[in-house]
Amino acid sequence: MINENEFVQRTVVLKEQQYRIAWAMLKNAADCSDAMQEAALKAWTKRHTLREDAYFSTWLIRILINECKTILRKRKRYLLLPQVQEESVPPAATELQGEIDALPDKLRVPLVLYYFEGYAIKEVATLLSLHAGTVKNRLHQARKLLRLELSQEKEERQYER
């Protein structure tokens, strides 16, 4: 079983990655922080269930994704306030991020895990409890939608000139 120091070290190393994944699902800094804290707490209390230390990061991310889903379910009960852009980013990046954020969860989460977090198809499938073929299909659908939306926006800008 993993000891306290090793647990803390591994969790700290994964902090930024956890935040990016939580942000992809929740799009709210406070909720991201809550999800990360809850995931760490659950991971610590359930650390005896980790079969192999080599799978720690996958195991922790799976717990985080489940926490994010729980927060999303709870959030549906309340009226959401508009989100404020937290960081200053180039317009093209903002446009792309906006389109990624507009994707349905079932397309956005695999896209973020694969392209932004660097997980392999099999790892994404494991994290999301899906078949690898389903992950590939959802990545294809997400790319297709992004391509369509971004090309339409480009045409609209050219038309306005």
Find the helix packing angle between 29-45 and 4-13, rounded to 10°: 150
Domain 90-161: assigned CATH number: 1.10.10.10
Per-residue model confidence (pLDDT) at position 95:
80
Torsional sign, CA 156, 158, 159, 161: positive
Write the pLDDT tens digit of every residue in 78-108.
644 445 455 555 666 778 888 898 999 899 9
- Residue range(s) in the chain whose domain bears CATH number 1.10.1740.10: 1-86
Pinpoint the alpha helices (H) of 4-113. 4-13, 15-26, 29-45, 56-75, 91-102, 105-111
pTM value is: 0.68
pLDDT for 134: 97
Q: How confident is the model over 151-160, as pLDDT tens digits?
A: 887 666 666 6
| CATH code of the domain occupying 1-86 | 1.10.1740.10
Q: Where in the chain is the domain with CATH 1.10.10.10?
A: 90-161
The CA-atom distances, in angstroms, between 127 and each of 81, 94, 118, 148 are 30, 27, 13, 28
What residues in the chain have per-residue pLDDT under 50?
A: 79-82, 84
Degrees, nearest 5: CA angle 51-15-125: 50
